[in-house]
Amino acid sequence: MTKPCGYMELAYRDITYCKNVGAKRADILRQELGVRTAMDMLRQYPYKYIDRSRFYSIAELEDEDTYVQIVGEVVEWHTVGLGRAQRLSAQFTDGDRMIELVWFKGVQYVKLEKGVKYLLFGKPTRFNHTYNFVHPDLTPWRKVTPEMTQGLEPYYNTTERMKRVGLNSKAMRQIIAGLMPDLKTGVPDTIGVDVLQRYRMMGLTEALVNVHFPKDTLSMQRARERLKFEELFYIQLQLLRQMKRREQNPGFLMPIVGSRFHGLYRSLPFTLTGAQQRVIREIHTDLKSGRQMNRLLQGDVGSGKTLVALLCCLLAVDNGYQTCIMAPTEILANQHYETLRNFLAPLNEPAGNRSSVNVALLTGSTTKKQREPIHEGLRNGTIDILVGTHALLEDTVQWGNLGLVIVDEQHRFGVAQRAKLWNKNTTPPHVLVMTATPIPRTLAMTVYGDLRVSIIDELPPGRKPVQTIHYSILRRSSINSFIRQQVDAGRQIYVVFPLIQENEKLDLRDLENGYNALCETFPDYPISMVHGKMRAKDKDLQMQRFANGETRILVATTVIEVGVNVPNASVMIIENAERFGLSQLHQLRGRVGRGAEQSYCILLTNMELSKETRQRMEIMVATNDGFRIAEADLQLRGPGDLEGTAQSGLPFDLHIANLSTDGQILELARRAAGEIIDDDPLLENQHNQIYRRRLDILRIETHNWGDIS
């Protein structure tokens, strides 16, 4: 027996006691969707709506992506096969034309009658140039209710486990319909009246009613805008509040621009780009402010982030502080170390001069014997810059005076791991987070919304844009001729295969087959192979052979996606390019084009491609601009796939807002949140208590790592 939910109790009433739920369904809702209360249920928003007020004729069918409803009769039917392979096929007419209905599952439950008027509802599919319906809803007209043919019908996300206990979209709709009477007298709003009026938003009660059971399309759109605004507003409020709080944290004072910085700057055989100079000024402004820096440095592949990072390290060293650069892989850490040593060579000659800089490398491969002097040098302050991997996080790594932490490709580190670095000091060090993956504006405002952002949006002069070409596998022979031409001209070639965890055995075999085929085709060229399943020692050896020019072709997986720098490599061939996302393709392309010669990226795909895949290939061919590509990737794939798990890095979950499509609402939300935080950073004023209470509730609901950059 169920108890009615009073409107004031929606936030506290256990979902078990709501109409159409019960104990079994409540357990499933808790486990699958995190729904614990009536209000949680009301926050399960529809993902789409079907206009049930319109009826179609069979002749009007023209779109496979649209649900339609048709009134007609079943004129004949028959079953084919036995057991699980049984199929039911029926002919349905609207009085003018005929269309086939097909059921592959649950055939025994489909009961058909001749001479009965039916309401057919479903999504048409095209097969052999003819439309049919697979598993449609077929309801005798005598059982059709007014609600089934009026207005917009909401559809809800469910899981297979939910469906097994009858919790399909229709059941979700029934549960939520049972909560509608409780909304009649209104629920307390989560946004102040002044903000609602300024941005012309619905109140929460009206929005909840119209998001689930809209009276018309305009009401549905306004309800969704209000609820999206609310989600994005509280994310921005939390991030901006954190930013303000951090900016009050004391930070190491680094006002001096000393001999090491000037020495390196003058020794460079080229001039920094305007963007590099601007970014260094922005960072130095933070370092000399007396407040802790938390800054994101974005720069496309090849834009010169490593040199900017080194110059920032030297600002810290000139002020008496140690620094570290943490990279996600040993290959990248080794490369950073060698790059820094090469840049610093003029400062370190002759050895022991006053402007010399002591750089060390610490990775998982560093032996115990090698570690002892490194640990000692860190403690006594004789090591100025430490480059490394996760090994920097070990408890045995103790610093004398760590003032600046630089994290490269930070999304590859766990939050708790990064936190160990900040906690090495009683006063938190300055933090510079770097990424070579251009971040769309909407993601930057959410995932990194509590960081100041610097962007290197200019490539060094003289760089020739990489020419990108899309070929099908039928062009293999001409590609092999091109490889031979490039290698004979003294260039080097990358050939990248996908290695995806779900099919790692199959993918690894593809990689090995590709390697063997290249060895047969080019027996006179030395060829290396690298993949993530190799021992680190073997992988580094093969990478080093390619970097030194000992091998001319490197067959690899995406382990070479980030940080490998071989200026002589002029061709990047990506096999099965259809299996990569846009941002990953762009990262791989960034491995070439680092020398003076014209470079090429060849995207090899199968002949049959989906519409989205063809779009990805066209975008890659059309532009080298990483930010344009990142925006396109966000539009095509959504935010969930860009950095692994959905919405990673957001302080609170999103239930209705979408970062790939709701950029304008996000801008409004950030502006509204910014106005409140600028006026009352700690949310202490009485009229801001509504926001403080809501943030407290959201933090309980969503474990928040937001205090870590």
Alpha helices in 247-345 (DSSP H): 259-267, 274-287, 305-318, 330-344
Asked if the model's pLDDT at residue 33 lies above 80, the reply is: yes
Sign of the torsion formed by the C-alpha atoms of 641, 645, 650 and 652: positive
What is the token pair recorded at 199? 């941005």
Asked if the model's pLDDT at residue 672 lies above 70, the reply is: yes
CA distance 196 to 204: 10
Asked if the model's pLDDT at residue 423 lies above 70, the reply is: no
More confident residue, 537 or 582: 582
The owner of tokens 């780009």 is 273
Asked if the model's pLDDT at residue 124 lies above 80, the reply is: yes
- Report which of 609, 625, 599, 622 is spatially closest to residue 577, judged by C-alpha positions: 609
Identify whether the C-beta of residue 308 lies closer than 8 Å to the C-beta of residue 456: yes
Asked if the model's pLDDT at residue 627 lies above 90, the reply is: no
Region 604-608: mean pLDDT is 89
Asked if the model's pLDDT at residue 501 lies above 60, the reply is: no
Q: Which CATH class is domain 467-623?
A: alpha beta
What digits encode the pLDDT tens for the residues 215-249? 889 999 999 999 999 999 999 999 898 888 877 78
**Secondary structure (3-state) at 359:** strand
Confidence of residue 351 (pLDDT cuts 50, 70, 90): low
Q: Within 10 Å of residue 549's Cβ, how many Cβ atoms?
A: 13
Residue 234 neighbours by CB under 8 Å, 6+ apart: 190, 652, 691, 694, 695, 698
What digits encode the pLDDT tens for the residues 279-323? 999 999 999 999 989 898 988 877 889 999 999 999 999 999 999
What is the token pair recorded at 46? 């529809």
Region 513-538: mean pLDDT is 88
Domain 54-149: homologous superfamily in CATH: Nucleic acid-binding proteins (2.40.50.140)
Region 470-480: mean pLDDT is 92
Asked if the model's pLDDT at residue 7 lies above 50, the reply is: no
Residue 289, CA distances (Å) to 255, 434, 482 in order: 8, 21, 55
Asked if the model's pLDDT at residue 648 lies above 50, the reply is: no
CA distance 574 to 258: 45
Confidence of residue 709 (pLDDT cuts 50, 70, 90): very low
- Report which residue type is found at 332: L
Quote the pLDDT of residue 642.
42
What digits encode the pLDDT tens for the residues 369-411? 999 999 999 999 999 999 998 888 888 888 999 999 999 875 5
- Report which of 326, 623, 630, 295 is spatially closest to residue 430, judged by C-alpha positions: 295
Residue 542 CB-density burial (10 A; 0-12 exposed, 13-18 middle, 19+ buried):
buried
Identify whether the C-beta of residue 37 lies closer than 8 Å to the C-beta of residue 12: yes
CA distance 166 to 643: 34
pLDDT more than 90, % of the chain: 48
Quote the pLDDT of residue 677.
94
Mean pLDDT across the chain, nearest whole number? 85
CA distance 562 to 546: 16
Sequence spans of domains, the chain: 1-52+155-187, 54-149, 259-289+303-435, 467-623
CA distance 657 to 96: 43
What is the token pair recorded at 115? 């001479």
What digits encode the pLDDT tens for the residues 562-575? 556 788 999 999 99
Asked if the 259-289+303-435 domain carries CATH number 3.40.50.300, the reply is yes
Asked if the model's pLDDT at residue 32 lies above 70, the reply is: yes
Quote the pLDDT of residue 705.
36
- Phi, psi of 326, deg, nearest 5: -105, 125
- Strand segments (E) across 341-388: 359-362, 385-388
- Strand segments (E) across 463-526: 467-472, 492-496
Quote the pLDDT of residue 123.
87
| Fold: same for 54-149 and 259-289+303-435 | no
Asked if the model's pLDDT at residue 131 lies above 60, the reply is: yes
Quote the pLDDT of residue 706.
38
Confidence of residue 638 (pLDDT cuts 50, 70, 90): low
Region 416-442: mean pLDDT is 73
Residue 440 neighbours by CB under 8 Å, 6+ apart: 627, 630, 631, 633, 634, 659
Residue 485, CA distances (Å) to 481, 573, 589 in order: 6, 14, 20
3-state secondary structure 652-703: CCCCCCCCCCCHHHHHHHHHHHHHHHHHCCCCCCHHHHHHHHHHHHHHHHCC
